[in-house]
Amino acid sequence: MKASYLIRKAQPKDVPAIAAINSQNLLENLTHLSAEQLARRGFLVSRLDERKILSIVQDGKNGLVRVACNGAQVVGYAFAYNGLLLMRDEPQLLDTLQINPEYRAMFGEFCAGAIKLVCLDQIAVDEQMGRGAGRPLFERVLKDALKQGYQVLEDLVLLQPVRNDRSHRFHDEVGMVSVGTQTIGKNGQAYVWDLKVQFLCPDLRAAEGS
């Protein structure tokens, strides 16, 4: 059954609750589940960097953190940050992308800051998932990103070694489209991510491409 959730900006006091939701969704803490159970449940791959979250919560620049609340309880969070920082801090990631030519052509403009890209790093809900917290959380991130001048929102959803089916369905439902993949080797295993985007400005949609 759907519930009603308040979506608001995160505050410093929310960081422990955000970290707890991150932890309960972490792949490394769900090793008792089979691949099918993981796909159905959904999961996160990366442990949250609490200092990074706190700095974005405190200065409000270069990203946004929003929480979903049921009464006083934080039940979900979404965290997105300025893609220009990622390009600056980890330019080697560009070599790991297999993306359509239209989207690749945009990268020069992201790097020059001519098109503002925001990366949805994590979205997760606690045991209340599936009851309607995720969608308004995502929609609030979109709305606030647009207000902050961002034109493209990007997210990565795991395809291999374990497909995050639940998250793929969620991203499809909220209107994100795939523009390619990213492949990163980790502990001798290939992690392949689906790169999904949403264009916040209609005139950029040609890059959805083939």
Residues of this chain that bind ligand COA (CB under 6 A): 25, 42-44, 123-125, 129-135, 157, 164, 166-167, 169-170, 173
Query: Residue 104 Cβ, how far from ligand COA at the closest point, in Å?
Result: 22
Query: Residue 192 Cβ, how far from ligand COA at the closest point, in Å?
Result: 13
Residue nearer to ligand COA on the CB measure, 70 or 100:
70
Query: Residue 186 Cβ, how far from ligand COA at the closest point, in Å?
Result: 16
Residue nearer to ligand COA on the CB measure, 71 or 149:
71
Instruction: Quote the CA–CA distance of 46 and 27 in Å, as a whole number.
Output: 8
Rounded to 5°, the CA angle 150-153-154 comes to 145
SS3 148: coil
Find all residues with CB under 8 Å of 65, minimum gap 6, and list them: 9, 10, 18, 53, 56, 57, 77, 78, 79, 80
Query: Residue 122 Cβ, how far from ligand COA at the closest point, in Å?
Result: 7
Give the sign of the dihedral formed by CA 168, CA 169, CA 172, CA 174.
negative
Query: Residue 57 Cβ, how far from ligand COA at the closest point, in Å?
Result: 19
Phi first, then psi, for residue 194 (nearest 5°) are -85, 125
Residue nearer to ligand COA on the CB measure, 102 or 131:
131
Which residue's CB atom is positioned nearest to ligand COA?
Answer: 134
Residue nearer to ligand COA on the CB measure, 27 or 111:
27
Count of H helices and E strands in the chain? 7, 8
